[in-house]
A and B are shown apart, each in its own frame.
Chain A
């Protein structure tokens, strides 16, 4: 498949500390890419640069061969979903989505119709008139996704969207993400520090450490052929954790 989103030679320094050091990678259209790494590895900075809230010191971002490095966030055709949802608390589910549409020059009736369709797609029709605080975390996150989908973005960026959710909700939401990705054919870039999440969701996984890319490949390759000890340790850590906790519970030496 053809490279569609290209990130070239991106570097960013904060107060003398290199947050990103010469980052290069490409994404194909409709791909699900996870960026995996511990906190402080630069993944959030990368996300902020991709969405356009942060300007890189050097390097370029291209979509379809068009340089968007200096484009404002709303001209990039990207959406973002945060860990803490950032839903507007004073608005209902419907209003949250409608508001965004109306700001972007949809008439009231068109906005309402479109909003309802999208909310239906994420399965929240029965909660249309509820305020965010009346919903569960998983439901709120789905509203956030619906709101992002409203403007038909080509890329959705996720900033650790499940960190605040419990295990049950995570599993349901994972399926939801995949469904939405297939249905809307949207490119998704997904930031997480959770290995399991990254491996179960992604077409490819990118492992980051200290502002650099350690490895980027399909999950199987990373798992079976980690490029170096860092990747090996990082991706197998959760497995080791799991094994040892099973051992503890069962008393069986695995």
Chain B
């Protein structure tokens, strides 16, 4: 039995090891080996490259500051004030995460473009093309991520700290500095790095609203898609890797502020009418903006020919259906479903090896899994061309599923790593003494005790695979194209109404899927509660 267990343990290691090598190490290595380093000199002297690098840095910097600030205020509003409808607000704040980044750019054009709703109806003449548009669009899709990170952090600050502060007679500023800021430092930095790398490597928003304002990611995209210059693309990609790599190194070495208490007392929010009113107003401004943005998708989908003929019409729907949107939706659901299943299984077992097996190689697996977070999707996609261009998986569903699994691997991995690490570390040993092998323990004890986490992981993989346009953008052909890339296509043809319809479909599918996961989670939790109640009566 001991040998059997060791055998199981080692097999998990080998399978996880092979997976990590083929899907992460090998593609990245192939880029660095095959890239034309000789072109580097020419590239860094190219005017457009220098300009793009500069633009990307500026845009990412400004966006990060505003985005994290907005996210902090919203997280504060939801966690530290007595505003109403917090649950609804929290849901609306993360809606932008359910559509592709490019949709946000297009949404802005719908509102502020030459033929935009605001431009035509309200006479607002606001030049959305260029740096303004990129920044607003980037804020729109990046602030929810920072919001989630910070909300989570707010929840973990133990309130007894604040009670202590009160007893010690600390004033508000001191309390903020010594407690709130102390605990929020790491999450804030995480949020800053997450938003910066996301914006720096995204090509969706600048492609839609950038106009002539070139950023590094768009530059790369155009070189690869337009000119098929993979080698140059890879060189640019290496520059895209820099901020992600810096944040990865930083993350690796920065220590978490551990909240070292057994119980977590809920924060008691003090009464403060003015504060509540101010934060209500701020929250609702954001909500209204988001509703208007999503509303513009709906409006544009159902009019004949905006702005010239605003009568109700299904002509655009007819067009996208003729164009075969259904096929692409099915492609996307297929890819996302398999990515969710395969990704969850691999992330779960990788986390199992690093959190519960703890051989020496575990550290390497952990580092590799976290490193996947630092690889921009667009670079990852490119690396898969280098690695698999001549293999049978190139331009198949398999490669699309695989690249998505790797692209979105780190977050679900971390969820599983944390959840599994918290489970009693003696389950396997106790099992051994009873003759229960490792796999039975995983099946009968470990998995039933982490269903919530598994559902979260599935949801994360699915939703992100539905919206991604980065890693997949070089690896598809028309047969296996995911629906999100249809937006790129319509954007290129300036067919904004059609692009709006596609965005809507993606939003609806993701909302339905999230709803389904929510129901399942409720069911699991209700069963637990029900089981308790049953015994009381």
Contact = CB atoms under 8 A, between A and B. Distances in A.
A103 B532 CA distance: 26
B479 interface: no
Interface string B413-457: 000000000001111011011111000100011001100000000
Nearest to A85: B424
Interface in A67-113: 72-75, 78-80, 82, 84-86, 88-91, 99-100, 103-104
Nearest to A92: B531
Contact of A53 (B429, B435, B444): B429
Contacts of B430: 80, 82, 86
B444 A134 contact: no
A99 B2 CA distance: 19
Interface residues of A, number: 29
Given A72-B2, A74-B1, A88 B427 contact: yes
Nearest to B448: A90
Contact of B445 (A80, A84, A88, A134): A88
A84 B424 CA distance: 8
Nearest to A88: B445
Given A80-B430, A82-B430, A131 B435 contact: no
B3 interface: yes
A72 B7 CA distance: 14
A117 interface: no
Nearest to A51: B433
B383 to A, nearest CB: 38
Interface in B44-69: none
Contacts of B435: 74, 103-104
A103 B434 contact: yes
A129 interface: yes
Contact of A90 (B425, B434, B445, B532): B445
Contacts of A53: 2, 429, 432
A75 B1 contact: yes
A130 interface: yes
Contacts of B449: 89-90
Contacts, number: 67
Given A89-B449, A130-B535, A131-B531, A74 B426 contact: no
A84 B433 contact: no
Contacts of A78: 433
A103 B434 CA distance: 8
Contacts of A89: 424, 445, 449
Contact of B535 (A75, A80, A134, A151): A134
Interface in A30-56: 51-53
A52 B2 contact: yes
Residue among B425, B430, B433, B449 with most chain A CB within 10 A? B433
Contacts of B445: 88-91
Contacts of A99: 444
A74 B432 contact: yes
A75 B449 CA distance: 28
Interface in B1-30: 1-3
Nearest to A87: B424
A151 B30 CA distance: 55
Contacts of B440: 103
B203 to A, nearest CB: 45
A73 B532 contact: no
Given A72-B3, A73-B432, A103-B440, A86 B531 contact: no
Nearest to B5: A72
Contacts of A90: 445, 448-449
B535 A73 contact: no
Nearest to A89: B449
Nearest to B447: A90
A53 to B, nearest CB: 6
Given A84-B426, A90-B445, A131-B531, A72 B1 contact: yes
B424 A86 contact: yes
B260 to A, nearest CB: 17
Contacts of B444: 88, 99
Given A52-B432, A88-B444, A100-B436, 18 more contacts: A53-B2, A53-B432, A73-B429, A73-B433, A74-B433, A74-B434, A74-B435, A75-B1, A84-B426, A88-B445, A89-B445, A90-B448, A99-B444, A104-B435, A131-B531, A131-B532, A134-B532, A148-B433
29 contacts: A51-B433, A53-B2, A72-B2, A72-B3, A72-B432, A73-B1, A73-B429, A74-B432, A74-B434, A78-B433, A79-B433, A80-B429, A80-B430, A82-B429, A82-B430, A84-B425, A86-B427, A86-B429, A86-B430, A88-B427, A88-B445, A89-B449, A90-B445, A90-B448, A91-B445, A104-B435, A147-B434, A148-B433, A151-B434
Interface of B: 1-3, 424-427, 429-430, 432-436, 440, 444-445, 448-449, 531-532, 535
Interface of A: 51-53, 72-75, 78-80, 82, 84-86, 88-91, 99-100, 103-104, 129-131, 134, 147-148, 151
